[in-house]
Amino acid sequence: MTEPASAELTVETIEEKLQKFLESRTKQTWDPDADLFKLGVVSSLFAMELVVFVESTFGVFVEGPDLVLDNFRTVRSMSALVMRLRPGDPGA
């Protein structure tokens, strides 16, 4: 499942994959800026599924101070996280 460290990983392709996963699990569509947790549709346990999905789909490790709920709050915040952490990026 792990994506090779590819230069083709763009914000658009990342967000598309995230939206597809979210739709399959919540049976609703999500705008990139919609707060996933605000309406209680998404539980904290599901947040952990999201963490694992992001890691395995985009080949990144989300650890330490990056592993914070705010980074998973919206599709946009997740794509920003992936862009920052993806392989080849020296990161924080």
Partner 1 sequence: MIPVLDELATLLTETAADAAEGWDLAGEIPVDVLRGLGAKGVLCAEVRPEFGGLGLSGLDNGRLAAHANSLCGSLRSVMTSQGMAAWTIQRFGTRALREEYLSRLTGGALAAVAFSEADAGSDLSAMTTEVRRDGDDMIVDGVKTWITAAAYADLVVVFGRHEGGGAVAVVPVTAPGVRVEPVPSPMGCRAAGHSTVVLDSVRVPPQNVLAVPGQSLTLLTSIALTYGRLSVAWGCVGILRACLAAAAGHARTREQFGTPLARHQLVARHLTDLYAAERIATQMCEHASRAWDGRSPGLVMDAILAKYVAAGNAARGAASAVQVLASAGARDGHVVARAYRDAKLMEIIEGSTEICQLTLAEHALAVAS
Secondary structure class of 56 (helix, strand, coil): helix
Q: Is 65 in the site for partner 1 (CB under 8 A)?
A: yes
In the list 20, 35, 69, 89, the residue contacting partner 1 (rule: CB under 8 A) is 69
Q: Is 58 in the site for partner 1 (CB under 8 A)?
A: no
CB atoms within 10 A of CB 40: 7
Q: Is 5 in the site for partner 1 (CB under 8 A)?
A: no
Closest CA to 88 of 66, 59, 46, 64: 59
With respect to partner 1, which residue has the nearer C-beta, 15 or 72? 72
- Interface residues with partner 1 (CB under 8 A) are 1, 21, 25-27, 37, 43-53, 55-56, 63-65, 67-70, 73
